[in-house]
Amino acid sequence: MVWNNAQWRNSARELEGYLQPLAAELGRSERRVTFSRYVMGLLIPGQRKSITPMAKRLGTESQGLQQFLTDSPWDEQALWRALRQEVVGCLGAPEHWIIDETGWVKQGRE
């Protein structure tokens, strides 16, 4: 499914609600806000998913997104625990999970 801007706007509030328990593990409020922006930047329509184009589409400064990725200290394992808790709550407890991202379309020549 290819999302357009109207579909994205209709789903943004629901996504923010989903991200709140995950962002809670990041500590400072600045990190929580930037985390939500970064995830939204990855999901909104647009071909380039690097920091500068995402920041432009989000209407924010790229410096905050860059700092979140490179300099913000947060516990990766705590975020993974929160994510697993959310996923298991949605899917139930299957015996095995297979996650295969190889079906994603490649966007570069390299």
Domain assignment present for 10? no
At residue 39, the 3 state secondary structure works out as helix
Q: Which domain holds residue 51?
A: 31-91
Number of domains within the chain: 1
pLDDT in tens, 3-37: 677 777 777 778 887 888 888 878 888 888 888 88
Residue 102 lies in a domain: no
State the DSSP string of 57-109.
HHTS-HHHHHHHHHT----HHHHHHHHHHHHHHHH---S-----GGGSPP-S-
68 domain residue, yes or no: yes
User: pLDDT (tens digit, 9 = 90+) per residue, 27-66?
Assistant: 888 888 888 888 888 887 778 888 999 899 888 888 988 8
Is 16 inside any structural domain?
no
- Kind and range of the H or E run holding 1: none
Is there a domain that residue 65 lies in? yes
Q: How many residues does the chain have?
A: 110
Q: Is residue 14 part of a domain?
A: no
Answer whether residue 66 is part of any domain: yes
Predicted local distance difference test score (pLDDT) of residue 2: 66
pLDDT digits (tens, 9 = 90+) for 81-110: 888 887 777 776 667 777 776 666 667 776
pTM for this one? 0.67
Does residue 47 sit within a domain?
Answer: yes
